[in-house]
Amino acid sequence: MARFTLTHTALAGLVLVERQRAQDARGFFSRFFCADELAEAGFRMPIAQINHTFTARRGAVRGLHFQHPPHAEDKFISCLRGEIFDVAVDLRRGSPTFLQWHAEILSAGNARSLLVPQGFAHGFQTLSDDCELIYLHSRPYAAAAEAALNVRDPRLAIDWPQPFTDLSDRDSNHPLITSEFTGI
């Protein structure tokens, strides 16, 4: 029995993962992660770090974060409580979809995750109050390799679904993309 439905997006390597649920009167069971099954979706490295976030207010935005090589990472993003608009931006040098973005609604109810490969920036906007996410990372956080795009960058033109209610000073001050940026 397949535990996941894998849907490849228009951005090569970015995969929507839907967990299959076995349900009965007690509730449900689903496999959250399986290295063997998700290797075919592109998550081939061991999990090096797991992070858990909580965001209190609807409309809050976090992102668009990434790490430069050799610390670039695959991320497996899941929403455990609430609902989010999850965004990935292709930053791969020479990619035919360079600087294009893709978004998915992830929620506790829809059992979806987004597999974000190396070479992508990632961020999200909460669509409900009290959102909790879990991130599985293929590499540990490396402060010296950290970078981000500005979530309001007109060159990206991300169609955020709600007005921003919360955005950290750090995230609001990430630089805009210039013509010198050729990717990672």
Catalytic residue numbers, as ranges: 65, 135
Contact indicator for 61, 167 with CB cutoff of 8 Å: yes
As a whole number of angstroms, the distance between CA 28 and CA 157 comes to 39
The residues, any chain, with a CB within 8 Å of residue 24's CB and separated by 6 or more, are none
Contact indicator for 174, 150 with CB cutoff of 8 Å: yes
As a whole number of angstroms, the distance between CA 148 and CA 175 comes to 8
